[in-house]
Amino acid sequence: MTITAAADGSALGNPGPAGWAWYVNDSCWGAGGWKYATNNQGELKAVLELFRATAHLDEDLLVLCDSQYVINSVTKWMPGWKKKGWRKADGKPVLNVDLLREIDEALVGRRYRFEWVKGHANHPLNEAADSRARAVSEAYQAGRPIPSGPGWVDAPGTARAERSPRTPAFSEPEAPAAQPGLFDFDEPAEPITLSLTLTPGEHARLAERARSRGITPEALLRDMI
């Protein structure tokens, strides 16, 4: 049987108050975050904690993820980075290497595959993970208690499995030095310029969604990217 779960991250300001979350159903999900991190760090941490939460299960795992950076890092780039001593093709250190090393260890012996889903497109599992990751980042921003979720419980198809302990709370990173920015991808190394053309209706929906979150349309677009 295959366990299907979504993993997502959020960072207000990117970098800024950040959250991560994995989600199977309303009774089976986990979340956490940091006072200051990037969206990519949140996305990676969500995947890592999902694998840790399911480590006791002998089930296939389907990970739904809206981050091409995460999927490519895990399924395409990581073997080459490891051979080069966790350095990129240009010789520069790989970003977020600590999280990637932990993911690499968590994958040993696991049966899994990743599936890309479009973010903010009303995919129920992706939206559930996204909303919980964002709730954590907003809680850090406002100084509220962190909604960490119930952790792993007996989700559908795993009733015979012994429940695992809650994933230990993440450790908050040291005060950041030079944090990676929005486009902290492996390739290309040069800055990227994006242009976006919206119809009047699309612009209106974007503006309305931004107003509902109390941010500018530009900030919403950055968070979506």
Positions annotated as catalytic residues are 8-9, 43, 66, 120, 130
Q: Give 116-119 contacts, CB < 8 A, sequence gap 24+.
A: 116/65, 116/66, 116/68, 116/71, 117/6, 117/64, 117/65, 117/66, 118/66, 119/8, 119/66, 119/224
Angle at 52 between CA 48 and CA 56, to 5 degrees: 155
Strands of 112-116's sheet in order across: 28-37, 16-25, 2-11, 60-65, 112-116
Q: What is the CA radius of gyration of the chain?
A: 17
Bridge-based pairing of strands 28-37 and 60-65 is: unpaired
Query: Residue 214, CB half-sphere, CA atoms under 13 Å: how many?
Result: 3
Task: Note whether 51 and 58 are within 8 A (CB).
Answer: no
Indicate the DSSP class of residue 87. Answer: B
